[in-house]
């Protein structure tokens, strides 16, 4: 067994056999899928991004050119490649090129910085890192130089646009393609929202992911006429596959990309491209609704707005339906697998007050207490799940896997849910040590570890605090060694280390000691209450 495979946990044979027998896993790879679509829908528009308009045949041809180029550089099957591109047509050409040759993209977010990217490169032993030269006022080539200096296995930095000292994507040599991968092979790595010291990589296979696309495309009634606007980061699981861009390609529709989610930019795009469906995180919804009320844009083509990634309150849900006059679809999913949708013909009660039900009849849902015992129907408990597109293990994380999965292979989502009589899930809270900052996930432990390494910090605990706009923000409680240490210094320290800006604590509260639980652990529950109370008092006096 290769080293690589040793680090990926396959589905147990009995389940895999069942998923194949039931026709969920059909033995198709992404490469074969794109070829099939290029054959069927060659002249139809696949991707729109700025001035770029690619038909399916253009996308397939560009993926082919890149695959030959990657191959000529020496990138081969099973090689890991960290992909950090903004929302652009080339993102899809790059990933389909890697799929075609059986190389494995790791989907980094544009917001990731030195610490995260070097960790992905080192942990995945990546041979290549693919970036846009410059984007959003940030020079990724500088980042790449820093990453390269600490990642000995990284052989290639490939750049979209002006490559500087690196290799330009538009100027690759021509090579020959290796034998294609198998559908049961890992196709790429998603990133976990995480609740541990280091981010976790999620291996997804062609078989399992394509099943989730097919299921999603069906539920979302996608067709070649569908036009999907992608404003969330294209590599995130929601925007990629729920149904996301790949679900739209599955159906032969068109993906319109934007790096800017602001109404001024997006409303004219919706009108011009006749966008029919889009996906938002909750904080974007009031921004769009307020702007729609004053700008009165032409949104007549827009039939469905999906909202997911974080808790969406039911008043805002009702406002969306009322004011935009389109169908709301709540989406509760996770990069590890399981995705739930409200359905288009569901009652208002289900659409406004639940986060939907699973894609597959074979998604197993268990709601359990702290001792893993099943709870009576309708009670709130930990959500465990297993199914045809939910992983059985993170990549190279044996110890963590023992905690994150039950002995019979159920994934511990860390979400607290209840299941309605109709089988719909309502997300009631979270047991995992994570902050959900308007859909962006922060692992408390990851940032705590970094702060603890600062010489002025004796102890630290990071918790979520309520925020009117984002739903939650992060608050770091810090015990100082030195009373002169200031919050700005800690923030500057984190920024200098190189972490994504959204992980930098929104607020730092200094403390002399932490409240403890009965067993002597830091009580984050009490810390959350303390900061909530302080914010309340501040808002009343301010
Ligand atoms: C999506 O994926 P991730 O991996 O960034 O985050 C998953 C976690 C869930 O475990 C849950 O804690 C939270 O995000 N979440 C929601 C939610 N959707 C996700 N919490 C409350 N309400 C919702 N609707 O976020 C993701 C992946 C695929 C589709 C949609 C979202």
pLDDT digits (tens, 9 = 90+) for 246-288: 999 999 999 999 999 999 999 999 999 999 999 999 999 999 9
Residue 190 falls inside a structural domain = no
Residue 23 falls inside a structural domain = no
* Residue-number span of the structural domain to which 122 is assigned: 30-43+56-181
Residue 2, φ and ψ in degrees, nearest 5: -70, 155
At 26-62, the pLDDT tens digits run 999 999 999 999 999 999 999 999 999 999 999 999 9
Asked if 227 and 274 count as a contact pair (C-beta separation under 8 A), the reply is yes
Q: How long a stretch of residues is the chain? A: 542
Ligand 1 centre distance from Cα of residue 333 (Å): 4
Provide the pLDDT for residue 359: 98
Asked if 272 and 243 count as a contact pair (C-beta separation under 8 A), the reply is no
Provide the pLDDT for residue 24: 98
Residue 11 falls inside a structural domain = no
Provide the pLDDT for residue 194: 87
**31: which 2 tokens?**
């490469």
Q: Determine the average pLDDT of the residues in 425-453.
A: 98
Ligand 1 centre distance from Cα of residue 230 (Å): 17
Ligand 1 centre distance from Cα of residue 303 (Å): 23
Ligand 1 centre distance from Cα of residue 6 (Å): 28
Q: Determine the average pLDDT of the residues in 367-396.
A: 98
Same domain, 227 and 367: yes
Q: Determine the average pLDDT of the residues in 471-488.
A: 97
**What total number of domains does the chain contain?**
3
How many angstroms separate the CA atoms of 289 and 68, rounded? 46
Residue 369 falls inside a structural domain = yes
Atom of ligand 1 nearest to the CA of 432: 12
Residue 51 falls inside a structural domain = no
Residue 48 falls inside a structural domain = no
Provide the pLDDT for residue 289: 98
Atom of ligand 1 nearest to the CA of 312: 22
Provide the pLDDT for residue 197: 86
Same domain, 304 and 337: yes
User: Which of 310, 334, 384 has the most ligand 1 atoms within 8 A of CB, as the residue to mutate?
Assistant: 334
Same domain, 470 and 529: yes
Domain boundary at 411, 430, 449, which? 430
* Percent share of the chain, pLDDT over 70: 99
Same domain, 387 and 445: no
Q: Which residue has a Cα nearest atom 3 of ligand 1?
A: 334
Q: Please, what is the average pLDDT of the chain?
A: 97
Asked if 365 and 341 count as a contact pair (C-beta separation under 8 A), the reply is no
In sequence order, the β-bridge partners of residue 419 are: 425
Q: Determine the average pLDDT of the residues in 374-385.
A: 98
Three-state SS for 53? strand
Residue 158, φ and ψ in degrees, nearest 5: -115, 135
Atom of ligand 1 nearest to the CA of 242: 29
Ligand 1 centre distance from Cα of residue 319 (Å): 22
Atom of ligand 1 nearest to the CA of 430: 12
At 508-535, the pLDDT tens digits run 999 999 999 999 999 999 999 999 999 9
Q: DSSP H helical segments within 185-262, as ranges?
A: 206-219, 237-241, 244-251
Ligand 1 centre distance from Cα of residue 70 (Å): 33
Is the per-residue pLDDT at 480 higher than 80? yes
Provide the pLDDT for residue 1: 53
Is the per-residue pLDDT at 331 higher than 80? yes
Atom of ligand 1 nearest to the CA of 307: 24
Atom of ligand 1 nearest to the CA of 439: 25
Same domain, 75 and 162: yes
How many angstroms separate the CA atoms of 517 and 482, rounded? 26
Provide the pLDDT for residue 212: 98
Is the per-residue pLDDT at 6 higher than 90? no
Ligand 1 centre distance from Cα of residue 136 (Å): 25
Ligand 1 centre distance from Cα of residue 481 (Å): 37
User: Which of 219, 220, 231, 333 has the most ligand 1 atoms within 8 A of CB, as the residue to mutate?
Assistant: 333
Atom of ligand 1 nearest to the CA of 331: 24
Domain boundary at 387, 406, 430, which? 430
Q: Identify the H or E element spanning 57.
A: helix 56-73
Same domain, 282 and 423: yes
Provide the pLDDT for residue 5: 75
Asked if 313 and 300 count as a contact pair (C-beta separation under 8 A), the reply is no
How many angstroms separate the CA atoms of 227 and 254, rounded? 5
Same domain, 479 and 424: no
Same domain, 410 and 443: no
Asked if 245 and 268 count as a contact pair (C-beta separation under 8 A), the reply is no
CATH of the domain at 35: 3.40.50.980
Three-state SS for 242? coil
Q: Which residue has a Cα nearest atom 20 of ligand 1?
A: 310
Ligand 1 centre distance from Cα of residue 532 (Å): 23
Three-state SS for 465? strand
Question: Which residues sit with their C-beta closer than 6 Å to ligand 1?
Answer: 193, 237-238, 242, 308-312, 330-335, 339, 355, 413, 415, 427, 430, 436, 441
CATH of the domain at 386: 3.40.50.12780
Same domain, 113 and 249: no
What residues contact residue 429 under an 8 Å CB cut-off, 6+ apart? 380, 415, 416
Provide the pLDDT for residue 170: 97
Ligand 1 centre distance from Cα of residue 452 (Å): 28
Q: Which residue has a Cα nearest atom 2 of ligand 1?
A: 334
Residue 7 falls inside a structural domain = no
How many angstroms separate the CA atoms of 319 and 312, rounded? 12
Atom of ligand 1 nearest to the CA of 441: 5
Residue 90 falls inside a structural domain = yes
Same domain, 215 and 159: no
Q: Determine the average pLDDT of the residues in 381-399.
A: 97
Helices (H) and strands (E) in the chain — how many of each? 18, 27
How many angstroms separate the CA atoms of 438 and 205, rounded? 28
Same domain, 174 and 245: no
Atom of ligand 1 nearest to the CA of 356: 24
Q: DSSP H helical segments within 358-516, as ranges?
A: 398-404, 444-452, 487-497
Q: Which residue has a Cα nearest atom 14 of ligand 1?
A: 309
Q: Which residues of 61-91 are buried (b: 16+ CB within 10 A; e: fewer)?
A: ebbbbbbbbbbebebeeebbbbbbbbbbbbb
Ligand 1 centre distance from Cα of residue 472 (Å): 14
Ligand 1 centre distance from Cα of residue 470 (Å): 14
Q: Determine the average pLDDT of the residues in 372-381.
A: 97
Same domain, 226 and 113: no
Ligand 1 centre distance from Cα of residue 97 (Å): 28
Tokens 């309708």 sit on residue: 378
CATH of the domain at 481: 3.30.300.30
Q: Which residue has a Cα nearest atom 8 of ligand 1?
A: 334
Domain boundary at 389, 405, 430, which? 430
């Amino acid at each position: 067994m290769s080293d690589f495979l040793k680090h990926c946990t396959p589905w147990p044979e009995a389940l895999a056999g069942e998923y194949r027998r039931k026709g969920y896993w059909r033995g198709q790879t992404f490469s074969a899928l794109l070829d099939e679509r290029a054959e069927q829908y060659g002249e139809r528009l696949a991707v729109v991004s700025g001035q770029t308009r690619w038909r399916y045949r253009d996308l397939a041809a560009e993926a082919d050119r890149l695959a030959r180029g990657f191959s000529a550089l020496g990138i081969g099957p099973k090689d890991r490649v960290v992909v950090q591109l903004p929302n652009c047509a080339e993102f899809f050409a790059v990933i389909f090129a890697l799929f075609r040759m059986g190389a494995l993209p790791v989907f980094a977010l544009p917001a990731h910085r030195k610490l995260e990217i070097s960790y992905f490169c080192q942990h995945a032993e990546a041979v290549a890192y693919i970036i846009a030269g410059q984007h959003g006022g940030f020079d990724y080539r500088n980042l790449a130089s820093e990453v390269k200096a600490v990642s000995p296995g990284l052989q290639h930095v490939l750049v979209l646009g002006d490559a500087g000292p690196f290799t330009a994507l538009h100027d690759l040599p021509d090579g020959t393609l290796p034998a294609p991968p198998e559908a049961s092979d890992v196709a790429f790595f998603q990133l976990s929202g995480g609740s541990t010291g280091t981010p976790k990589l999620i291996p997804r296979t062609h078989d399992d992911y394509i099943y989730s696309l097919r299921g999603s495309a069906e539920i979302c009634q996608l067709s070649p006429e569908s036009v999907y606007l992608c404003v969330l980061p294209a590599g995130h699981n929601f925007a990629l596959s729920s149904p996301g861009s790949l679900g739209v390609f599955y159906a032969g529709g068109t993906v319109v990309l934007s790096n800017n989610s602001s109404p001024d930019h997006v409303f004219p795009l919706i009108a011009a491209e006749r966008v029919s469906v889009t996906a938002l995180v909750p904080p974007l919804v009031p921004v769009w609704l307020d702007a729609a009320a004053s700008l009165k844009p032409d949104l007549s083509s827009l039939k469905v707005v999906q909202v997911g990634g974080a808790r969406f309150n039911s008043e805002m849900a009702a406002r969306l339906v009322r004011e935009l006059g389109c169908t709301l679809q709540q989406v509760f999913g996770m990069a590890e697998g399981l995705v739930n949708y409200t359905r288009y013909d569901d009652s208002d009660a289900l659409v406004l007050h639940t986060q939907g039900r699973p894609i597959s009849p074979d998604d197993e849902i268990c709601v359990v207490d702290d001792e893993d015992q099943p709870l009576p129907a309708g009670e709130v408990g930990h959500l465990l799940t297993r199914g045809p597109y939910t992983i059985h293990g993170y990549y190279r994380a044996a110890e963590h896997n023992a905690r994150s999965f039950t002995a019979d292979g159920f994934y511990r989502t860390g979400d607290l849910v209840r299941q309605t009589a109709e089988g719909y899930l309502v997300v009631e809270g979270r047991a995992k040590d994570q902050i959900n900052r308007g859909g962006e996930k922060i692992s408390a432990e990851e940032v705590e570890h970094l702060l603890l390494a600062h010489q002025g910090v004796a102890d630290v605990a990071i918790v979520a605090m309520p925020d009117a706009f984002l739903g939650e923000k992060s608050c770091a409680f810090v015990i100082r060694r030195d009373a002169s240490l200031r919050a700005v210094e800690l923030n500057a320290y984190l920024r200098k280390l190189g972490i994504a800006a959204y992980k930098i604590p929104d607020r730092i509260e200094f403390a002399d000691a932490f409240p403890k639980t009965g067993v002597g652990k830091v009580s984050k529950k009490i810390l959350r209450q303390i900061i909530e109370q302080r914010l309340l008092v501040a808002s009343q006096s301010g």
